[in-house]
Amino acid sequence: MICIVLSLFTSSKKKEKSTVVDTQKSIPIPVTISKEAMAMLGSFSLENREESANLPKDNAPIKLWEKKQEEAKLAAEKSIPKILEIYKPIIDTIFLGNVRAIDVKPQNYRESDQVIIYIHGGGFVFYPADVTLLSSIPLADATGLRIITIDYTLAPQAKFNQVLEEVIQAYKSILKEYKAKNIAIYGDSAGGSIAAGAILKMRDLRIDLPSVVVLWSPWSDVDEIGDTYFTLKKSDPNLVYKNFLENCAEAYAPRNEWKNPYVSPVYGDYSKDFPPTLIQVGSKEIFLSNSIRMYRQLKENNKEVELDVYEGMWHVWQGNYDIPESKMAVKNTKNFIFKHIGKSK
């Protein structure tokens, strides 16, 4: 069954206007979202978004990239102590073959023959797996399952072929412990691209595929193609293509590979096998078109797919774990995984 799930939160207070504008930085804030989400949107600014769009070119000295990567890591680390205190998960470092990974188990974890693999985002160029816990701990807690986050080598230190090889090597190692039908995989942003690209490559290599895949705000086409790259350009609070996403894409893959399905999975052949797929995206993201196009590809090839769109949400809002919209997204992710994991092929 193929369906679209539209998730909408409304404020309990009656509003006379459809939109409130943050006059300080001109990011439109809809009144149709939770108060917590409105406050979060108010903390974004177009000025800060533009200031962040200053990444090196792909051929810049690696030290420039390393400096940016270290700055991003230090910034992300600041949010980790609070979520550890709230959820009290069990965190370990493991190795899957030669690939490092972070093993996340919820508090009071009970052994299970089911497991979730997480491919983290960061534009292909940012974050070790250690600082991506905001997107894994709440889902581990909600499902009660172990989540293994693959710590793939970042671009530009590694290009797409190496990244996919590392993910597939890690997956094959996990297959030694878990059956494919008991494995779910999810990824956010660039991690969504890597997850879908890895599944396409595993299919081509005749490796048993996971039972279900979830894509959070997937960057399924790394080129600036799609309607919402332009229509939402002025209202996306944290994504900008020129000097940021474009540089990330070039660091990950040369331009002549951008339509390679392993790089931009929207161009994949979905007439062949592909797991049931849930795609979550926010209505403020310039990546909205990426999700719509990916959904259409799967739907038109009669694959089981849901497009779960969230009013007023920004890129990978699921990581803002304390807002109602994030909790709803995590719940829907859990329900979709539970619907399909463990089923016989």
Task: State the average pLDDT for the chain.
Answer: 92
Is 80 exceeded by the pLDDT of residue 69? yes
Closest alpha carbon to 167 in 182, 179, 154, 178 = 154
Q: Residue 180 has which token pair?
A: 């494919």
Residue 56 has pLDDT above 80, yes or no: yes
- Interval 224-267: pLDDT, tens: 999 999 999 988 999 999 999 999 999 999 999 999 999 999 99
Query: Half-sphere exposure of residue 283, counting CA atoms within 13 Å on the CB side?
Result: 14
Q: Which CATH superfamily is domain 3-340 in?
A: Alpha/Beta hydrolase fold, catalytic domain (3.40.50.1820)
pLDDT, residue 46, reads 84
pLDDT at 80 over 50: yes
DSSP 144: -
Tell me, letter by letter, the H, E, C secondary structure of 22-63: ECCCCEEEECCCCHHHHHHHHCCCHHHHHHHCCCCCCCCCHH
> Please, where are the H alpha helices in 176-255?
190-204, 228-231, 246-252
Secondary structure E strands in the chain: 3-7, 19-22, 27-30, 90-96, 99-105, 115-119, 146-150, 183-188, 212-216, 277-282, 305-310
pLDDT recorded at residue 7: 40
Could you report the per-residue pLDDT of 3-19, keeping only the tens digit for each?
Answer: 433 343 333 444 444 45
* Confidence class for position 87, pLDDT limits 50, 70, 90: very high
- What is residue 342's predicted lDDT score, i.e. its pLDDT? 80
Q: What mean pLDDT is predicted for residues 32-37?
A: 97
What global pTM score does this model have? 0.91
Query: Dihedrals φ, ψ of 185, to 5°?
Result: -135, 140
Find where tokens 């309990």 sit: 12
Phi, psi angles (nearest 5°) of residue 83: -70, -30
Mean pLDDT, rounded, for 116-145? 98
pLDDT band at 218 (very low <50, low <70, confident <90, very high): very high
What 8-state DSSP symbol labels residue 278? E
In this structure, are strands 146-150 and 99-105 parallel, antiparallel, or unpaired? antiparallel
